[in-house]
Structure 1
Amino acid sequence: MQFSGKTVIITGAGKGIGRACATLMAARGAQVVALTRTQADLDSLEAEIGSRSVQVDLQDPEATRAAMAKAGPADFLINSAGVNVLESTLEMSDAGYEAVMGINLRAALIACQEFGRARVAAGGGGAIVNITSIAGHRGFPDHLCYAASKAGLEGASRVMAKELGPHGIRVNCVAPTITLTELAAAAWADPVKSEPMMVRHPVNRFAEAEEVAESIAMLLSSDAGMVTGAVLPVDGGFLAV
């Protein structure tokens, strides 16, 4: 799965799964256009892999559209940007809802829309991978808006696969389990917290960001040319049992 001569736009490329995707795609020959909010993350990624940088607050719809225009034409899009505000059904706040849905769902849909418009204008072709979560499939306490945003993105991705397919544009999702980014590794370091969740995984471990990135690269590649409208769990079997 090589991507020489191809360009990929990655939202949330500064940290976590997004950064792992940027590093992997660059290693396989792609030109990476990194979109994220923190300039320091963009600077360090640019120094590391030679990416192009677009600083943007994805909470702002117009800024998101402008950032996609600045990113320019690309062959692939990876929507990795995401946030979570831990609130239960009875505690949900307007601010928490707006933060989570604004970035996880609205910004992702805008990025897909702008990418799709550009690809259709260029004659079609290309692929999108949206990063969702097992939280869109199972009910986890205090994940009300997060679960809604990820389930919503999966539903929207199926619509996009239907509508963009005639233009040769494939749209898929990956649904990772707990992924050991730097922040997550610290959050799940306590065995009292992690063990009850860990035992629900047949492989008896959580995912690494690089493993999620590998799955995304597979879905972007021509090896997955007949795969669209799919949700690929990258979850060590969590959803299967």
Structure 2
Amino acid sequence: MPNSFDGQTVIITGAGKGIGRATAKFVSERCAKVVAIARTDSDLASLAEETGCRTIKADLLDPKVARAAMQEAGTADHLVNCAGTNVLESTLEFTEDGYETVLGINLRAALICAQEFARARIAAGGGGAIVNVTSLAGHRGFANHLCYAASKAGLEGATRVLAKELGPHGIRVNAVAPGITLTELAAAAWSDPEKSEPMMARTPIGRFAEVEDVASMIAMLLSADAAMVTGAVLPVEGGFMSV
């Protein structure tokens, strides 16, 4: 798919690090014009140097900032909602601040970005695609992930509603649900064999995902190769949920 996004613009939230950054690189290499939204200047500057993307600095926790960032991004062909965060808190100890942070970025911001993208696309005649990045945590119960799991499961439910309501306008909406993905932070977090080996034992493919594994699936769902795929959640977890 060397030229699969030639002439197309892709907005990517959370583009500064991890899966978002890998996706920005992946689609840029396939001729996409990327609009990268993130909250760290240094991440955006280095990504712009690597890919030539346009950058927008924004903290999507603030709904007004999220909406303004999307309006600044303008009309695009595709949107990847990759911005996400987590606050590790248990059921008995979770806080209102933790809830507001996790749900605000992982769910509310994604819905605002999808709404602004869809309004602009419909005004331009429709078409295009959205991919929401959810998580294995929306399907399996992991300790200390109460609000995170709620946000990701909620985004998958929203994905199906978005697919239904935006389909008549030619806009497809899907999600990818990564399992453990070796971003820089995750690689350190899962380096302890006592923690990682039980998860690996339940992963038939025998390894954890690299960020490029997820980025390639996001690109596939955005592309014309997935023209009849909408409302779907694609697990990218090496078969963890099958056993």
TM-score computed with the length of structure 2 as normaliser: 0.98
Inter-partner Cα distance in structure 1 for 2:144 and 2:189: 15
Cross-structure match for 1:5? 7
State yes or no: 1:144 paired with 2:146.
Answer: yes
Inter-partner Cα distance in structure 1 for 2:202 and 2:141: 14
State yes or no: 1:127 paired with 2:134.
Answer: no
What SS does the corresponding residue of 2:181 show, helix, strand or coil? coil
Q: CA deviation at 1:95?
A: 0.5
State yes or no: 1:225 paired with 2:230.
Answer: no
Inter-partner Cα distance in structure 1 for 2:77 and 2:129: 7
Stretches of 4+ aligned residues off by more than 3 angstroms: none
**Where does 1:78-97 land on structure 2 (aligned, <5 Å)?**
78-97=80-99
State yes or no: 1:45 paired with 2:47.
Answer: yes
**Where does 1:63-82 land on structure 2 (aligned, <5 Å)?**
63-82=65-84
What SS does the corresponding residue of 2:143 show, helix, strand or coil? coil
What SS does the corresponding residue of 1:153 show, helix, strand or coil? helix
Cross-structure match for 1:21? 23
Percent of aligned pairs with the same residue? 72
1:177-231 per-residue CA deviation (whole Å, 9 max, x = no partner) reads 0000011001111111110111111112110000000000000000100000000
Task: Specify the code of the residue in structure 2 equivalent to 1:18.
Answer: G
Inter-partner Cα distance in structure 2 for 1:193 and 1:161: 37
Task: Specify the code of the residue in structure 2 equivalent to 1:45.
Answer: L
1:104-162 per-residue CA deviation (whole Å, 9 max, x = no partner) reads 00000000000000001000000000000010000000000000000000000100000
- Across the two proteins, how many residue pairs are aligned to each other? 241
Tell me the C-alpha RMSD between the 2 structures. Answer: 0.5
- Unaligned 5+ residue runs, structure 2? none
1:79-100 per-residue CA deviation (whole Å, 9 max, x = no partner) reads 1100000011101100000000
Inter-partner Cα distance in structure 1 for 2:215 and 2:233: 15
- Unaligned 5+ residue runs, structure 1? none
Task: Specify the code of the residue in structure 1 equivalent to 2:171.
Answer: I
1:117 pairs, out of 108, 113, 119, with 119
Cross-structure match for 1:183? 185
